[in-house]
Amino acid sequence: MKVAIVGAGAIGGALGGRLAWRGHEVSLVARGEHLAAIRRDGLRLVDHVGDASGTYRTAASDEPADFGAQDLVIIALKAQAIGEMLPRLRALLKDDTVVVPAINGLPWWYFHREPGPHEGRRLRSLDPHGTMFADLDCRHVLGCVVHVAAEVRAPGEVHHTGGRRLVLGEPDNSRGERLRRVCALLDDAGLEAQPSERIRLDVWIKLLGNMSFNPVAALTGYLMNQICADEDVLDVIRPMMREGMAVSAHYGYPMPMTPDQRIDLARQLGAAKISMLQDIERRRPLELAPIVGAVIELAELAGLPVPTIRMVHALAQARARALGIG
């Protein structure tokens, strides 16, 4: 298949390298020194969880239009870059192109084809200009929740450090041919693609961990295993999760687990350096809006109190501003 990875950083680079390993025609959208290194030397994937290590010569550019129409487009950008990029993706699309946003937080398409009073709603924390639904026709979108850990450790060098699971689902919760096809493609690349008939529930299960562990990691400098071993810090994580679970239940997705069971899932990542800590160390803007701000916005719409989430969000914003990345 012809596959474009839009945002060939940590997650995008790991996915792109694995797909190139299996012989697909992969094109990478990247920028800066990372792009220059890929163009010069190829993409180096260091695979800590499988057999896909290698250096892969792929097309690479900072302009998606250079690649033409694709069978599959994987968006692996930071949330703050997605809105500006969506209009530039039109050159990659044909009628049956599948677009998989492999992104953190609540996705901008969340209320697309979601039955009920919120169908089609746009959240200002995700789509502040109200243009994203128009900039990319959501009929192309296949929802995705990423349970993979990866890092860019040098320009052109991506380490897949943990996890293989990707949960994919149609926004209307159907089970169609394109879902089967994309899952098979990713399975063949050494990943574990799980089809879902309730992709928004899977979004919430991941989000409850992200909205608590990520800002706490940014504030403390802790790796995931250090957070999970510190009971005083877990006493902050638990109320954040309880508040988030109340929000998810209000919107029709009660959690099938307790906060401690969700913490046990996080323990499986081991000593992972999760994304906001990576961003703090590299002085990159934090993805607070889709990961924490969107939960606060949904709570406001529902009239639900989320005091612990608000407190940690305010502290993480202040930390970012103090470092000049807020």
Tens digits of per-residue pLDDT, 263-304? 999 998 888 888 999 999 999 999 999 999 999 999 999 999
Distance CA 151, CA 13 (A): 9
Burial class of residue 111, CB neighbours in 10 A (0-12, 13-18, 19+): buried
Q: Does domain 201-322 have CATH number 1.10.1040.10?
A: yes
CATH 1.10.1040.10 domain extents, the chain: 201-322
* pLDDT confidence tier of residue 326, bands split at 50, 70 and 90: confident
Name the residue with higher pLDDT: 102 or 114: 102
Find the length of the chain: 326
Nearest to 292 by CA among 316, 275, 260: 316
* pLDDT confidence tier of residue 167, bands split at 50, 70 and 90: very high
* Cβ atoms < 10 Å from Cβ of 5: 30
CATH number of 2-196: 3.40.50.720
Task: Determine whether 206 is an active site residue.
Answer: yes
Tens digits of per-residue pLDDT, 193-246? 999 999 999 999 999 999 999 999 999 999 999 999 999 999 999 999 999 999
| DSSP SS3 for 204 | helix
Tell how many helices (H) and how many strands (E) occur in the chain. 13, 10
Beta bridge partners of 150: 160
pTM reported for the whole predicted model: 0.93
CATH 3.40.50.720 domain extents, the chain: 2-196
Is residue 324 pLDDT above 90, yes or no?
A: yes
Q: What is the DSSP letter of 290?
A: I
Tokens (6 digits) for 283? 């002085």
The single residue of 78, 94, 206, 273 carrying the catalytic annotation is: 206
* pLDDT confidence tier of residue 101, bands split at 50, 70 and 90: very high
